[in-house]
Amino acid sequence: MVGTQDGRFADFVSAHVPTKVKQSRHLISHDANSKSRVNSTPGILNVICKGSFYEREVVHVPKGHCSALNGAPPLMLCHKVTNAVRLVDPVTLRSFDIPTPEYWKRPLDSVCRRDHLTEYVVLNVDPVDRTEAGSTARHNLPGRGKMTLADVEVARACDLGVNDDRIVVRSHLGGFLRPGGRVMGYDLRTVNVSGLDDECLQGGRSRLGAKTDVVLVKKAPRAVTVDDINPALPIIRNIP
């Protein structure tokens, strides 16, 4: 059957990322005497995950989506991309799913990409009650016991020993962070967000004052030290 492999590939991709499938017919051969035609119907995919945004990036949510999602904030963190886009509000720990048909009506834009990540040092972690944050519903994110709200005091790793600049941010990673640890995050004060709705961005950043100026994303990868090397493993030395 012509197009079977194309259809299977389209189904596979559509199950993992939001896609838009366009069916087209191409003429393979034509016999003028018998007036017979042989056509092919491949599926042409328009995949949005490449070049639009990735997981763990801050995205700008258009007003239409905010209204449809019962007052979702205009700036949220992309938590997961499958056949739907899952967003999480790091200030309230509320999660929102945008199905593929709704996504294509109002595509999302990335505000902070992975190359904007900055390393911070955790100075203090103060747990926050979800009722105080305005969210009482149980979230459906993995790691339910670790995903907890907290006011986290951080300082940029590059500022240690240089200045005493500190900032307190509200984060959904309260269960993962400990004083003295390191975490990666986006500094919304230094990211160029030109071209987006300034009113929406101001509203997204001012919900809790300065506590949304930095969005913490994940624990920083720990550097490998000499103590981490297994002494039972042979040591390879450069022999001149």
Provide the pLDDT for residue 209: 44
Q: What is the pLDDT of residues 33-76, one digit of tens each?
A: 655 555 555 545 555 444 467 888 898 888 877 778 877 888 88
E strand spans, 3-147: 19-23, 26-31, 36-40, 43-47, 58-60, 75-81, 84-89, 94-99, 109-112, 118-127
Counting Cβ atoms within 10 Å, is residue 89 exposed (0-12), middle (13-18) or buried (19+)? buried
Per 3-state DSSP, the chain is made up of helix, strand and coil in percentages (nearest 5) of 20, 35, 45
Q: Which has more confidence, 26 or 43?
A: 26
Q: Which has more confidence, 178 or 43?
A: 178
Q: Which has more confidence, 107 or 30?
A: 107
Q: What is the pLDDT of residues 112-123, one digit of tens each?
A: 888 889 999 999
Provide the pLDDT for residue 4: 63
Residues paired with residue 168 on neighbouring β-strands, in sequence order: 153
The conformational region for residue 13 under phi > 0 = left, psi -120 to 50 = alpha, else beta, is: alpha
Domain boundaries, the chain: 4-47, 49-219
Model-level pTM? 0.70
Q: What is the pLDDT of residues 192-210, one digit of tens each?
A: 655 555 555 555 555 544 4
User: What gap in Å lies between CA 122 and CA 154, rounded to an integer?
Assistant: 5
Give the distance, in angstroms, between the CA of residue 234 and the centroid of all CA atoms in the same chain. Answer: 40
DSSP type of residue 172: S
